[in-house]
Amino acid sequence: MVVRIATWNVNSVTARLPRVLDWLNSAQPDVVALQELKTTTEAFPHNAIGELGYETLAHGQGRWNGVALVSRVGFEDVVRDLPGQPAYDNAVEARAIGATCGGVRVWSVYVPNGREPDHPHFAYKLNWLRALELTVRSELAARPGLPYAVIGDFNVAPTDADVWDISAFIDSTHVTQAERAALMAVTDAGLAEVYPRALKGEPYTFWDYRNGSFYKGFGMRIDLILANEKFRDRVRDAYVDRDERKGKQPSDHAPVVVDLSDGSSA
């Protein structure tokens, strides 16, 4: 039975492996969605993570994308890539993987960055979010009683309050009306956001490596948990593990953790 679920953009699972292993030992999650693996499916550290009692599903191409699910409650109904997922530069990128883990349907997603509002990657981002919306609608209709969550790096700040200074994002991606509308369409498909609390400071999940952004508090909240009512009814706590952004060779993202009831009375 799933009790603790987390999402973490690790910004290279190879570079971050010691931290990932330490965090799995200390946080003891049941299911973790990882993004930005920057490695291939075959080179993913299946054995190292498996030694901690986890099964692993990875979907990577050795580029800057790549997603994975790590579970100690098993996997069922595994899907790699969204149905109808758009391509970019004639390639379908490894940005989504879904599975049912201990009675909860979980998708790990790494939404395209978009780069700039007038860049072709921006249109790709919007099309990708549309494919995610259609996937959510289809799966929720097929199994409406199943707890369901789409978690990961959405590369969209839902509101102006989710960035450290909205004036710093003029003419930038992540905060445009089009991106937020596309994200809202995903939630309108039958999901709502699970809002994490901050253990310290603001509940940001990303801080750029440059210019001392983390220590200045120049963050963004772009790592999200979108869930259906069956999932949300079981939520007992949700928080950003900000300390994982500190120390030696951190990712530029912090894990977001959700604790659930065991479901016995759900």
Q: Can you tell me the distance from the alpha carbon of 131 to that of 242, in angstroms, rounded to the nearest whole number? A: 31
Model confidence at 266, pLDDT cuts 50, 70, 90, reads very low
SS3 content of the chain, % helix, strand, coil (to 5): 25, 30, 45
pLDDT tens profile 181-203: 999 999 999 999 999 998 777 89
Rounded mean pLDDT of 216-243? Answer: 97
Q: Can you tell me the distance from the alpha carbon of 254 to that of 39, in angstroms, rounded to the nearest whole number? A: 20
Structure confidence at residue 200 (pLDDT)? 73
Q: Which of 210, 215, 218, 221 is nearest to 254 (CA)?
A: 221
Structure confidence at residue 264 (pLDDT)? 62
**CA-CA-CA-CA dihedral for 151, 54, 234, 8, to nearest 10:** -30
Rounded mean pLDDT of 78-102? Answer: 97
Q: Can you tell me the distance from the alpha carbon of 68 to that of 35, in angstroms, rounded to the nearest whole number? A: 7
Rounded mean pLDDT of 74-87? Answer: 98
Rounded CA Rg of the chain: 17
Give the pTM: 0.96
pLDDT tens profile 138-153: 999 999 999 999 999 9
Structure confidence at residue 2 (pLDDT)? 78
DSSP state of 13: T
Domain boundaries, the chain: 4-260
Q: Answer whether 11's CB lies under 8 Å from 251's CB.
A: yes
Fold classified for 4-260: Deoxyribonuclease I; Chain A (3.60.10)
The percentage of the chain sitting over the pLDDT mark of 90, rounded to a whole number, equals 93
The answer, yes or no, to whether residue 265 has pLDDT greater than 70, is: no
The answer, yes or no, to whether residue 19 has pLDDT greater than 50, is: yes
Q: Can you tell me the distance from the alpha carbon of 64 to that of 66, in angstroms, rounded to the nearest whole number? A: 7
CB within 8 A of 39, min separation 6: which ones? Answer: 12, 13, 14, 58, 60, 62, 66
